[in-house]
Amino acid sequence: MTRTPSHPADAQKPARPTHPTRQRILDTIEELVQQNQVVTRETLMELTGLSYHVIDDHVSRMVSDDGTLRRVRAGVYVPCEPPPEPRAVSVTDLPDGTSVIEIGELVARVYPRERRALATRLAGDAMQLSNIQAGENVNMLLNEVMRDLKKIKRDRQGE
């Protein structure tokens, strides 16, 4: 005797993706790399909400089985295939108020209103870059202060 689904929608349920967790981790890694951020298991855990166990399991398979990632040191990873080199970008303001934006081989002449619309959409990227740079500056300063503090402590112990 054959069983029929109790509800017609049950018969047409789409198949579940085979590796949604792996893809979630890969997408997060790609985004971190595009933002010039270090890919660590801690960062992956924070951004994906997955446990260390799940992240370690998937990441270790990406390192050893398919070579998608390379382990730089314990808990730090980089993709084996680096993202493509960025294309040259230039903006030229013309006397009539328009601008010419060149990205690689792509050339677009934009009017002030279009330029403002682009600027509005790119402001988030500029802010993100600014935050990344500020974080790097703070880390460098913190390292200098810690180094100086250790030196002062060593000097005081020698007295």
The domain spans of the chain are 18-79, 89-158
Quote the pLDDT of residue 2. 45
Q: Is residue 19 very low, low, confident or very high in pLDDT (cuts 50, 70, 90)?
A: low
Mean pLDDT score, 78-97: 87
Quote the pLDDT of residue 83. 65
* Residue 58 predicted with pLDDT over 70: yes
| CA distances (Å), origin 65, targets 57, 62, 70 | 11, 6, 11
Tokens of 67: 């070579």
Instruction: Report the CATH number of the 18-79 domain.
Output: 1.10.10
Helix, strand or coil, per DSSP, at residue 39: strand
Is pTM, for the whole model, over 0.85? Answer: no
- Distance CA(22)–CA(27), nearest Å, equals 9
Higher-scoring residue by pLDDT: 27, 111: 111
- Distance CA(115)–CA(87), nearest Å, equals 20
Mean pLDDT score, 119-148: 83
